[in-house]
Amino acid sequence: GDAVVPPTPAQRPPPDPIGLYEAGEGDEDAAARLAASADEASARLREKMVEREVPSTPLARAWGFGMLGVRLATNRALGGGDGIPEASAEALAETLCRMRGAALKLGQMLSIQDERMLPPPLAAALERARQGADIMPSAQLQAQLTAELGEGWRERHGVASFDERPIAAASIGQVHRAEVADPETGATVPVVMKVQYPGVAASIESDLANLRRIVGLTNVLPPGLFLDEIIRVARKELAMECDYVREAECQREYRGLVLGDGVLARVASVPRVHDALSSRHVLTSDYCPGAPVDRATELSQTTRNGIARLFLYKTVRELFDWRMSQTDPNFGNYLYDHSSRRMHLIDFGASQRYPEGFTDEYLRLVWAAANRHREALLDASLTLGFLNGDESAEMVEAHVNSGFVVGEPFATAAPYDFGTSDLTARLRTHARKFLTLRLQAPPEEAYSLHRKLAGAFLLCIKLRAEMTCRDILEEAVERHGVVL
């Protein structure tokens, strides 16, 4: 059809979440409860952490996966039937948490993307893996720090204190609180030190190959997941995430982008990198206070709307203007500090850049979905490689309908009620058809980009946001001259 030029309200002010950050009724009491619950959750997590040495040699890692294979085969023989027995799912989760590295990362990717389409025992196992890993014993931790920062690193770099018990443990490394001399003022300031597990960077290839064989044993993942493509993307992402020098560069760049944005500079921040205490496998940054944004569920509607709108605005800026996105969907990477009304952005290991042509066409796709423009949506989907033109009518219909669901919050200028939208359930209905009907894997960029968009929507739903969204997308459309 003819090109559609979106209507442009005259002199529309730029999208500004600040206006929604007015104090809401009951916010102070709710904020106090939020801070207390965050402290309690952190304390419980630290209590549950199990010290277990990371298998760092090729032989030790091969042995760990081999024993998992034996346990899976035994449980399957004893259990009989199809699917994955609960004992096997438990063995899988336990092994992922112990081995860490690429295996745990892949398990977390599967959990985030497709947990509701997996058998319940496997979904539960992957969710457990997503919650955290085991931690390094003190001797292994100190050996890694000395190997990276040199003998006497505490004295040489003015480290006043270092807490050996981590505050978080993930697939690639664990995070510790410390106090150091500020490189600019000399005053003692709180920092966090992220320490990578030894051996994980060198074991990416073998870990993924071993896990691929083991997943084949369970025979529970539908072919529409395109597991081999997920593994290929995971391999590439992991190589980037294991390089803390690259992450530090991304963090500095993000800090500059946020400070240079008139909206974000007032309500968001990115911590400084402490270069002297950073290396390829250690990254030290300013400590940021706050609770994960998804826990801000008891704050007033006004403040919840502000947080959600800020998150959506940031997501649009990242994807379509900066073409660089912090793609990890873990809400623990976005800390809301009510005392300063500020969102702190942390952990930039999963930062990805996108080609300009891809993001411009993807913006056209989202704008077509927002305007329920079927022909433009299908055209953009073919251009991007989501479809190849040979799909069945049922698959095409599922693809179009899922696009329209994604575009729904942007469809009108009226506030959209995420809390009652049932977005995820409706998207899941269409996604189930993708698993059996789609003919090719989505474009490579889509894996991280979809995680980002899905995370933004999920946060809006968790916060039960009721807010205008169209103006945020509309402003991006105007900047890029998108025509349907």
Tokens linked to 51 = 């010290």
Cα–Cα distances in angstroms (integers) from residue 131 to residues 239, 244, 274, in the given order: 22, 22, 28
Alpha helices for 133-279 (secondary structure H): 138-149, 153-156, 204-218, 227-241, 244-259, 264-267
Query: What letter represents residue 283's amino acid?
Result: L
Tokens linked to 276 = 């002297």
d(CA 377, CA 283): 42
3-class secondary-structure state, position 116: helix
Query: Phi/psi of residue 159, each to 5°?
Result: -85, 110
Cα–Cα distances in angstroms (integers) from residue 100 to residues 65, 283, 427, in the given order: 12, 18, 31
Give the pairing type, strands 159-162 and 168-169.
unpaired
CB-based contacts of 187, cutoff 8 Å, min separation 6: 181
DSSP code of residue 317: I
Contact 299, 252 (CB under 8 A): no
Tokens linked to 78 = 């004893």
Tokens linked to 460 = 């809006």
Catalytic residues: 328
CB-based contacts of 292, cutoff 8 Å, min separation 6: 38, 331, 332, 334, 335, 336
d(CA 429, CA 432): 6
Contact 236, 334 (CB under 8 A): no
d(CA 367, CA 159): 51
Which H or E run includes 386?
A: none
